[in-house]
Each structure stands twice: as C-alpha cells, then as structure tokens.
Chains A and B, each alone.
Chain A
Amino acid sequence: MQWDYFLNQVISHRDALLQGTAITIGVSLSAIVAGTLLGIAIGVAVTYGIKPLRWPARVYIDIIRGTPVLVLVLATFYISSAVGLDLGAFQAGVLALTLFCASHVGEILRGALQALPRGQIEAGRAIGLTFAGIFRHILFPQALRYALPTWITAAVEMVKASTLLSVIGVAELLLTTQQIISNNFLNMQFYLLAGLIYFLIDFAIEQVGRYVGRRLDRPARRTT
C-alpha cells in the first residue's frame, strides 16, 4: 500500500479537505439551527395547536419522515429549479436538510411535551400565565431536558445526511474527497480519511451533548 504517497496527497490537498470540512460543518449547522426553529413551531402546533394547525403539522411530519433524505434532497433540488425558484445546489441542499431536521425536531418535541403532566398547564393558568408564558417558563425548559439526548442524535444525523448533498454537487467533504480520489485513485485511503473526519465531528457533538445533559440534570437532582 502506498502510504507515503497517500500522506503526500493529503498534504497537497489539505486546503480542499479543510474547505470541504468547513462546508460540511456550515451546511449541517445552518440546517440544525433553521430546522430546530421550524421544528419547535411544528412540535408546538402538533401538540397544542387548534385543528387547522395541528393537522398540517402532523401531515408534514409524516410525509417528511416517510421520505428518504436522498429523495428529499433530489426533489428539492430538481423541483425548485423546475418551478423557477433559482436556488443553487447549496441553498436547495440546506433547504432539504432543514425540512428534514424540522420534522424530526417536531416529533421529538411532541414526544417530550406529551410526557409532561397536564396539570402543569392548569397550574400555570391558575397563577395567571398566558399560554406563551406557560410554554416559555414551565413546559419548554422541562421538555428541553427530555428532548436533549434525541436532539443530539438528530444533530448527528444531520451531519451524516449532509453527505447526500454531494449527489447534487455541493462541494462538501464527501464530494471533495471524491474529487481528490478522481486524481489519485486512492479510494480506500481517502474514504477512510473522510470517515475519520465525519466520526470526529459526530463524536464531538455526542460528547458536547453528554456534557450539556449532565449540566441540565444537576439542578433536577438537587431538588428531588
């Protein structure tokens, strides 16, 4: 095996690899942030919304979660250009991942909110809070604690799903890797390297999630 050659190739392509990694992180981060915001709205609508809000949110979650992410990515990319929405591959990809992330966050939040005792809403009402107040001060902080582990899993899924953007030509880490391979044919070594970088990113997210989870758990243990 040509490991010397491989190391040389890594060094000479380091800028491309770094840029690809940066785009992977950028794509994932944008999709996680936008998808989480949209997902919170959907999760609240599906749990507490009036019927005309609840049903569309439910249908949204079921449709997006029933479709493979690759199909979502391809559909968003091709359909957006077919209807004259001039999104580039990057924007279309981020949009697809955002829609995907929102459906997961919506479902995660619904699960967490439904696990909370109903009496807490009534208690909030009894002390004169509006629904917004009840949600912000009572429901959301508790739901956050329940939902954090699954949300972290969803964030890791987003980084993994960002590889699918290579199919529509976004030069994230995987496509960059493929471009490098087409020059030097070091398939195994460069896919291993890409795998290692993805693993490190995802592992880091998991560790941060665990740390935050422990921090969130602490006051709860103290009071009980």
Chain B
Amino acid sequence: MSYHFNFAPILAQWPLLLSGIGLGLLLALVSIAIGSLLGLVVAFATRAPSRWLASLAFAWISVLRNLPILVIVLFLFFGMPQLGLSLDKISSFIVALSLYTSAYMAEVFRAGLLSVPPGLIEAGQAIGLTRSRIQRDIVLPIMFRNALPAFGNNFVSLFKDTSLAATIAVPELTYYARKINSETFRVIEVWLVASLLYIVCCYAITLILRALEKRLVLEAN
C-alpha cells in the first residue's frame, strides 16, 4: 500500500494544538490541586476515631475508584443542572476530575500515612510534643515524601484523562485533533501527531517530577 504522508495541514494548525495542550495541562494542574486537598482530608478521615466517618471515607474511595471517569463527567455536566446546579463545561469538568482524582490521592496519602514508622511518633511523644506538632512536624513531612512518586504517576494519568473533556466540547488537544481530523481528512497524520504530543508531554512531566523528587529527597536528607 502506498500512502503519501502529508503533515503540512496538521502542522499548519499548531496554534490550536498548542492551546489544546495548554488547556489540558491547566485542567490537570487545577484538578490535581483540588483533588489532592480533598484526598488529604479523605485520607485523614479513613483514620478518624469515629467509625462512621472512617467508613464514609472508605466508601468515597471505593465508589469513585470504581466509576468510569466519563460517567462522572457526563453526570456532572448533564445531570447536575436537573438539581439546579449548572456549571459551565470547564468548571464542570474540573469538578469531575478533582472528585475522581481525590479518591486516588486519598489512597496515595493513606499509604503514605501508614508508612510513617510508629517509633517516630512515639519518639515525638517522648520528648513532649503536642499531638498537632507531631502531625505537623513528623507525620506530614514523611507522608508527603513517601507519597511523591505516586503523586507524579497520578498527575500523568490525570493529564491523559483531560482528553475526556473533548466529549463535552472543552477545546483541549483531543477536541482539536477530532476537529482537524474531520476538516482535513489527514486521518493517520492527525492521530500520530496528537499521540506524539501526549507522549512527549507525559514524558516531560515525568522527567520534571523525577528531578523535583530527587531535589526534595536530597534537601530532606
């Protein structure tokens, strides 16, 4: 089969592709920030003395992890207006992504909390630190450091999940790829370029996070 590749019509649209990546990164950044805060609260709630609160936190994690993200996105965007809660598509998508990732971040932080050696907490008690100082000065720093690699992985998946915003017409990379696909019919080229851009971005994010991780661990030691 002889196929003549022609990337020119796709590369001519580079401002669109670039803005698509930019929006995707922005969506991922905002969602991971909100999702991490929420996840931190849920992680601490799983260890709450109140059994009721702890079960609620575990249910939160289990339900959100076992729901397809696309269902959450569509439910929030099309379903919530029925309850009188209409958000524009970008905010609605950010809420969906933040809720989804909060469950994963809660798992990450929970594992981080479990990995704090009990001896360190006892040591803190022995030198007379208050409960809140033990949490702030011993538990949280160790938890964050242990959670860093998993945090990075979650951020990369989150960036890939921003492609789903295309289904509610948020103009990120996949949205533009579909648009260029139907306008130019350079089908193979457009999807190759889109995939390549995602791969390069994911790789770059991984490298940046790894460098950050190294520096943080070095500083901590």
Contact = CB atoms under 8 A, between A and B. Distances in A.
A binds B: yes
A199 B67 contact: yes
Contacts of B188: 79, 82-83
Nearest to A197: B71
A68 B160 contact: yes
Interface stretch (B44-52, B137-145, B163-171, B213-221): B163-171
A22 interface: no
A151 interface: no
A203 B66 contact: yes
Contacts of A199: 63, 66-67
A174 interface: yes
Interface stretch (B30-38, B79-87, B109-117): B79-87
Nearest to B79: A188
Contact of A78 (B66, B80, B191): B191
B177 interface: yes
Contacts of B199: 62-63, 66-67
B181 interface: yes
B19 to A, nearest CB: 17
A55 interface: no
A163 interface: yes
Interface residues of B, number: 41
B191 A75 contact: yes
Contact of B78 (A83, A84, A187, A195): A187
Nearest to B195: A67
B80 A188 contact: yes
Nearest to B62: A203
Among B68, B81, B191, B199, the most chain A Cβ lie within 10 Å of the Cβ of: B68
A71 B79 contact: no
Contacts, number: 118
A137 to B, nearest CB: 33
B69 interface: yes
A23 to B, nearest CB: 14
Among A1, A70, A187, the most chain B Cβ lie within 10 Å of the Cβ of: A70
Contacts of B207: none
A162 B71 CA distance: 11
Interface in A37-89: 62-63, 66-72, 74-75, 78-79, 81-84
Interface in A140-195: 156, 159-164, 166-167, 174, 178, 181, 187-189, 191-192, 194-195
A16 to B, nearest CB: 17
Interface in A1-52: 1
B194 interface: yes
A14 to B, nearest CB: 19
Contacts of B80: 188
Interface in B56-93: 62-63, 65-72, 74-75, 78-83
A66 B198 contact: yes
Nearest to B198: A67
13 contacts: A62-B199, A66-B195, A66-B198, A66-B199, A66-B203, A68-B162, A68-B198, A70-B166, A71-B198, A78-B191, A79-B188, A161-B68, A198-B66
Interface of A: 1, 62-63, 66-72, 74-75, 78-79, 81-84, 156, 159-164, 166-167, 174, 178, 181, 187-189, 191-192, 194-195, 198-199, 202-203, 206
Interface of B: 1, 3, 62-63, 65-72, 74-75, 78-83, 160-164, 166-167, 174, 177-178, 181, 187-188, 191-192, 194-195, 198-199, 202-203
